[in-house]
Amino acid sequence: MHEVQALRLDGSSLTVAALSQAALQSLPVELDPAGLQAMARSHALVGRMIRDKVPVYGVTTGLGARATEVLSAWALAEFSLQTLRGRAHAIGPEEAPEVVRAGLIVRLNTMLKGHSAARPEVAQHIAACLNAGLTPVAGQIGSIGAADLVLNATVGLALVGEGRMRDARGRAGPSADMIQAQGIDPLTLAPRDGLALANHAGAVSGMAALAVSKAVCAFEAAQTAAALSMEGFRANTGPLAPSVLMVKPYPGQLQAAEGLRRRLAGGALFEPGQARRLQDPLSFRNIAQIHGTTGMALARAVECLEVEINSSSDNPVAFADSGGMTSCGAYFTAEITSVIETLNRALVPLAMAQLARVAKLLNPEFSGLPNFLAMPDSASNGFAPVMKAAEALVAELAHAAQPVPIWPSLNANGVEDCLTGSPAAAKALLRITAHLQRLTAIELLAACQAVELRGDAGSLGCFLSDACAHIRKISPALTEDRPLGEDIEQLAEAVAQNRFAAGPGPADATS
């Protein structure tokens, strides 16, 4: 992943990888002047609509079921702040700061498209808060995926000094005090500004982008763990041959196989006579097919989210050139739900195959190695007890991958009668990815032990040799029984940091 010192936002070139890095590392953000000018042009429409008494949703009329009510001049003066106060109802555990930051970065980027009709000062204020290390405090629950109104309003209210924030050191306090302590001028809202802060899909698209970025790292490590398991098992590499795969040339399978070959390159496994079996168990023979499906789901998710985070999700949407503001459905996140749920489901067979490969490595009837990968002539039970943790991870992962239920929404007296459930799907992917990181750590440990027990460590290619060296820095060989929980957690963190990636592959889409 390319490291940057600051993230420049221009409304059109934000990537999933860059967004994730900026949110996780609290990188400063810079706003493109052309985007700020586009915001100023679109905000000029607001004054015109108010002057000419043109009915515009959320600008000169009420919201939701009250969209038919025309607001008085007095009401317009307070409407932006009232919009936030009346919708800042996020509940539940506090959202992770990086998720809140990701949502705000998305909102900044989409504001610069010039369709929100918010003032440039709103974007500049958000950027100033982020660059000062301030992150609004908000609960995790409140969005149904038809705009993140409740979550965004809670965050927005903190930005104008009526909620709570955390500073760069993690200390929480009243946002007005936190903003003042950083020397940032208070933000007074103008007409349309409040709705622009609340009515958009930035929260869920930021969360989904973070989740997908984590899934990319987990997938890269799963590819490495599978290649190392192939070495430990002395698997047949025939199914990875390009000519064999071309009999059914699914792009994902071709890419996954190429990634596995790249990891195995330079090792002895491709030499004639190295494979121990004519046909391996399916968890080895079908890695390309299983991982190929996941790779394609990842690529599609990245593609979808990079459209989302570089597009307007406003309602209404402003067009400065034509001078109009139109109600629309850009806030509706059905595409996000579809690609994230597809990815969630695609990760289940991958995890099941990981579990199966570890079980095969532990079983001497399949692997030809000592039982449970225990050292010969020891009283150790090897990795046998770890299988319980592995199976527990797969059970929780598979449970999290169940579809998000969709039903007719009951909101706004039936005006808002559809939803997408995108936040639930994105949260599930975050859980799935966390389980996958730990499961991959277990496969890395078992595969490394298998390679060493077989005495083949010297026949590995450069990439897998380096991977084993990194594993051993964290977790020494299991020579006698000892707790492995901390080792697994540290390896899972290395997976999260993309330490087991092998360059170009499905992750290219996020580079």
pLDDT one-digit tens code per residue, 357-387 = 999 999 999 999 999 999 988 888 999 999 9
Q: Per the domain annotation, does 1 fall within a domain?
A: no
| 101 plus 233 within the same structural domain | no
The CA–CA distances, whole Å, from 506 to 32, 253, 304, 431, 487 equal 30, 11, 14, 21, 28
Q: Is the pTM of this model over 0.95?
A: no
For the chain, give percent helix, strand, coil, nearest 5.
60, 5, 35
Q: What is the mean pLDDT of residues 57-64?
A: 62
Last residue of a domain, one of 200, 225, 251: 200
The whole-angstrom separation of Cα 311 and Cα 14 is 10
Structure tokens of 507?
Answer: 């992750």
Q: Per the domain annotation, does 319 fall within a domain?
A: no
| 164 plus 269 within the same structural domain | no
Cβ neighbours around 251 below 10 Å, total: 11
The tally of domains found in the chain comes to: 2
pLDDT, averaged across the chain: 93
Q: Quick one: pLDDT band at residue 61, thresholds 50, 70, 90?
A: low
Cβ–Cβ under 8 Å, residues 232 and 177: no
| 253 plus 138 within the same structural domain | no
List of residues 6+ apart from 57 with CB closer than 8 A: 63, 67, 315, 316, 327
Q: Specify the range with the lowest mean pLDDT, choosing from 125-134, 163-172, 449-458.
A: 449-458
| 279 plus 167 within the same structural domain | no
Give residue 1's pLDDT. 44
| 53 plus 191 within the same structural domain | yes
Last residue of a domain, one of 170, 200, 230: 200
Q: Which domain range does residue 384 map to?
A: 208-313+327-510
Report cis status (omega within 30 of 0) of the bond before 33.
no
Cβ–Cβ under 8 Å, residues 115 and 49: no
Q: Per the domain annotation, does 318 fall within a domain?
A: no
The whole-angstrom separation of Cα 328 and Cα 56 is 11
What is residue 310's three-state secondary structure?
Answer: coil
| 308 plus 332 within the same structural domain | yes
Closest CA to 42 of 323, 329, 330: 323
**DSSP assignment of 210-267, as one string?**
HHHHHHHHHHHHHHHHHHHHHHHHT---GGG-HHHHTTS--HHHHHHHHHHHHHHTTS
Any idea what the CATH number is for the domain that residue 93 is in?
A: 1.10.275.10
